[in-house]
Amino acid sequence: MIKSILSVEDDTTTHLLNKLYLDEAKFCENYIEVLNGQLALNYFIDLAKQEDNLSKVPELILLDLNMPLMDGWEFLETFEKEFPQFAERTKIYILSSSINPMDKERVVREKTVCGFIEKPLDFEQIERLKKELGLV
């Protein structure tokens, strides 16, 4: 079980379903949700101000691509540039319903992105994540 996940997703129903599946799978202790990339950056801005912040970095970010204010790619670019100390300590997976083949191709090129998961998140995908993260 990992300590915490930051889910960056603009759909509250998706947050609810993700949390239910992850809780049922006993995947994480703490599910943190934000509704867009800007709020995710604000989370890391606040975290950077805290003492012992490296121990509080979410081990996993589930990142949607299509969101208002700041999409997933914009978040990723800013996160890598502004918070390299956090970016190197967390695993990032794109969790998206995007059917754009360029998004999947870009995932392969992004050094901080570990993979692409198609929405909706389900138990099979969670088991795959567990294996990839060395949790089983």
Sheet holding 91-96: strands in order across? 28-34, 2-8, 60-63, 91-96, 113-118
Which strand (E) or helix (H) includes residue 18?
helix 12-24
User: Per residue in 5-43, pLDDT tens?
Assistant: 999 999 999 999 999 999 999 999 999 999 999 999 999
Instruction: State pTM to two decimals.
Output: 0.96
Residue 96 falls inside a structural domain: yes
Which two three-digit tokens encode residue 6?
């930051």
**Can you give the residue range of the structural domain that contains 12?**
2-119
d(CA 33, CA 60): 12
Query: What pLDDT, in 10s, does the model give residues 48-89?
Result: 999 999 999 999 999 999 999 999 999 999 999 999 999 999
Q: How many domains are there within the chain?
A: 1
136 — pLDDT class (breaks 50, 70, 90): confident
Q: Is residue 128 part of a domain?
A: no
- CATH code where residue 94 lies: 3.40.50.2300
